[in-house]
Homo-oligomer: A and B are copies of this chain.
């Protein structure tokens, strides 16, 4: 179930989480995006609950049973910015 979105993310309620799928044209872009996510994680000291990826897509779930914290919303915004700096396909 979606309540509202933040920066293109779907907000799910059961369990509480932010979800977004990022698609890329080439594997090199996907890899670059994953590296940037890792850098953002290191900087914020916070990680997505799950990252699921293939050669040209990355699905990201942020949050957990306790809900989505303000810090996790910042993580989502930073990941969005990282994607926007790449040539995203969709």
Contacts and interface: CB of A to CB of B under 8 A. Distances in A.
Contact of A50 (B34, B48, B52): B52
Contacts of A31: 38
Nearest to A38: B31
A37 B38 CA distance: 15
Contacts of A48: 54
Interface in A1-57: 27, 31, 34, 38, 47-55
- A-B pairs with the 10 shortest C-beta distances? A52-B52, A47-B55, A50-B54, A51-B53, A49-B54, A50-B52, A31-B38, A27-B47, A50-B53, A51-B52
Given A47-B54, A52-B52, 4 more contacts: A47-B55, A49-B54, A51-B54, A52-B53
